[in-house]
């Protein structure tokens, strides 16, 4: 440890600011922390105070010099398909995208603004969660609604978790020892939020999240795909307003809505105790996931590698086995012994010689952001 340049990765959310000081070369995490309760009683007053506290806490580390700062921003809209150096124009554009991500972009952009104020002499790079999906073909990105309305309001599929999908697709290619350009992959990012992507030769061609992170898989607290007619129906018959519906589908649905808990460890405990609601919640989750894997198999015309990542994907062998159960005829199989093994390493869980490699590939969004940041900062 010591002399390689260090990147401060900042994930500025509405009520918390997460930070990591990373050496992108080998992935060493020099320091990390979270400042919580921003703007809440007992917490710091605002994002400036939060970042100040983060920077203060780094003074304790040996050689706290920061070479560059990498900022995570959720929504890059149609404007950003790559990480960019933060300047006034970029900041203004991220402000313009706030209507597309009203819960995330305001705090994200605030992190960049205070970062540039507090650390004015280092490059600041912005890495967008949507960027990897900038390559989605028009047929995959377009909603079949009135073109004028869609154009005027930026209604299209953007996709999220892109940094993770990209990182995992590359790490999975490395794991199987083949160039990423030569293989077709399905990446299942299963955390509290969850999404699947289809990656053809390293390029994203489909993903399950859309205009917002609500579309697609059943998640911890989000419904994923529903008939949009449900929204009109509840507005008309239950008198629900927009905010209430937003809260219903984003926070009171998914595993939480069906089983009352959103953590998969809790879900399995409830299933063990005989809860039928919990059993159904898992079945609905696995059914949706399997349906997406099948759909993406068709989108790609066959797959070489399927990988699982994030909190659930990396830890939950029951979910991994359940999601791919019954797909043997398609060359997809999970080896029970390999699947049950616990490890922090990327690893193959399909049987030796199986036509499709199934893998567990730990994600590392901070490292991915740090690497993209240093690449731009050193240019
Ligand atoms: P996010 O970044 O979306 O908040 P993570 O990727 O950290 O989420 O995943 C968090 C989720 O991972 C938890 O809500 C829990 O459901 C699941 N999880 C974490 N550890 C385990 C485990 N050992 N077994 C099963 N699920 C786990």
Can you give the CATH number for the domain in which 102 is found? 3.30.420.40
45 φ/ψ angles, rounded to the nearest 5 degrees: -70, -40
Whether the CB of 16 sits within 6 Å of ligand 1: no
Q: Are residues 114 and 206 in the same domain?
A: no
pLDDT of residue 59: 84
| 8 Å CB contact between 21 and 28 | no
**Residue 310, ligand 1, Cβ within 6 A:** yes
pLDDT of residue 47: 96
Q: Which pTM value belongs to this model?
A: 0.96
Which structural domain, as residue segments, surrounds residue 294? 178-365
CB 81 within 8 A of CB 131: yes
Give the DSSP per-residue string, 193-236: SEEEEEEETTEEEEES--SSTTSSS--SS---S--THHHHHHHH
Q: Is residue 84 part of a domain?
A: yes
Cβ–ligand 1 contact at 263 (below 6 Å): yes
Residue 144 lies in a domain: no
Handedness of CA 18, 19, 20, 25 (dihedral sign): positive
**Domain assignment of residue 159, yes or no:** no
Question: Which of 20, 189, 191 maximizes ligand 1 atoms within 8 Å of its Cβ, making it the mutation to test the pocket?
Answer: 191
Assess whether 253 and 341 both reside in one domain.
yes
Same domain (yes/no): 122, 183: no
168 in contact with ligand 1, CB cutoff 6 A: no
Rounded Cα distance, 198 and 327, in Å: 17
Residues 201 and 52 placed together within one structural domain of the fold: no
- Identify the three-state secondary structure at position 190: strand
Residue with CA nearest ligand 1 atom 27: 312
Distances (CA, A) of 52 to 45, 146, 165: 11, 47, 31
**Residues with a known catalytic role:** 129
The reply to whether 124 and 225 lie within a common domain is no
The secondary structure of residue 107, as a DSSP letter, is H
What Rg, from alpha-carbon coordinates, does the chain have?
21
DSSP 132: G
* Residue pLDDT tens, the chain, 379 long: 456 899 999 999 999 999 999 999 999 999 999 999 999 999 999 999 999 999 999 987 777 789 999 999 999 999 999 999 999 999 999 999 999 999 899 999 999 999 999 999 999 999 999 999 999 999 999 999 999 999 999 999 999 999 999 999 999 999 999 999 999 999 999 999 999 999 999 999 999 999 999 999 999 999 999 999 999 999 999 999 999 999 999 999 999 999 999 999 999 999 999 999 999 999 999 999 999 999 999 999 999 999 999 999 999 999 999 999 999 999 999 999 999 999 999 999 999 999 999 999 999 999 999 999 999 998 7
pLDDT of residue 3: 64
Residues 110, 81 contacting (CB under 8 angstroms) = no
**Candidates 20, 311, 321, 341: which one to mutate for ligand 1, based on the most atoms within 8 Å of Cβ?**
311
- Same structural domain, 123 and 194: no
CA distances, 14 to each of 18, 74, 359 (Å): 11, 12, 34
What's the gap in Å between 342 CA and the centre of ligand 1? 15
Residues 94 and 235 in one domain: no
Indicate the number of domains in the chain: 2
**Domain end call among 91, 106, 128:** 128
Q: How far is CA 177 from CA 183, 249, 334, in A?
A: 11, 41, 20
Q: Which of 95, 112, 128 is the last residue of a domain?
A: 128
Closest C-alpha residue for ligand 1 atom 19: 311
Cβ(315) – ligand 1 distance below 6 Å: yes
């Amino acid at each position: 440890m010591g002399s390689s340049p260090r990147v401060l990765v900042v994930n500025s959310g509405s009520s918390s600011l997460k930070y990591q000081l990373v050496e992108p070369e080998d992935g060493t995490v020099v320091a990390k922390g979270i400042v919580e309760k921003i703007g809440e009683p007992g917490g710091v007053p605002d994002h400036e105070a939060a970042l100040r506290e983060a920077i203060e806490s780094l003074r304790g580390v040996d050689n706290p010099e920061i070479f560059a700062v990498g900022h995570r921003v959720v929504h890059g809209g149609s404007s950003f398909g790559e990480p960019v150096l933060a300047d006034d124009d970029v900041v203004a554009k991220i402000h313009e995208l706030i209507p597309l991500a009203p819960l995330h972009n305001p705090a994200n952009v605030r992190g960049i603004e205070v970062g540039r104020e507090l650390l004015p002499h280092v490059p600041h790079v912005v890495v967008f969660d949507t960027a990897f999906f900038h390559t989605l073909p028009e047929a995959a990105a377009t909603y079949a609604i009135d073109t004028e309305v869609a154009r005027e309001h930026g209604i299209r599929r953007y996709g999220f978790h892109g940094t993770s999908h990209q990182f995992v697709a590359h790490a999975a290619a490395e794991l199987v020892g083949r160039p990423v350009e030569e293989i077709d992959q399905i990446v299942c990012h299963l955390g509290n939020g969850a999404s699947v992507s289809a990656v053809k030769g390293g390029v994203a061609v489909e993903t399950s999240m859309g205009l917002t992170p609500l579309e697609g898989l059943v998640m911890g607290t989000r419904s994923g795909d529903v008939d949009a007619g449900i929204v009109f129906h509840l507005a008309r018959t239950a008198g629900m307003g927009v905010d209430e519906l937003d809260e219903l589908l984003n926070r009171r649905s998914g595993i939480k809505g069906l089983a009352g808990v959103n953590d998969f460890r809790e879900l399995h405990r409830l299933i063990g105790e005989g809860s039928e609601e919990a059993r159904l919640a898992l079945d609905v989750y696995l059914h949706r996931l399997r349906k997406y894997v099948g759909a993406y198999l068709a989108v790609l015309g066959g797959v070489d590698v399927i990988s699982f990542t994030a909190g659930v994907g990396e830890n939950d062998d029951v979910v991994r086995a359940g999601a791919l159960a019954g797909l043997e005829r398609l060359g997809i199989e999970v080896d029970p012994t390999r699947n049950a093994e616990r490890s922090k390493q990327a690893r193959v869980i399909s049987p030796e010689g199986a036509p499709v490699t199934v893998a567990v590939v730990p994600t590392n969004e901070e490292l991915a952001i740090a690497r993209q940041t240093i690449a731009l900062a050193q240019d």
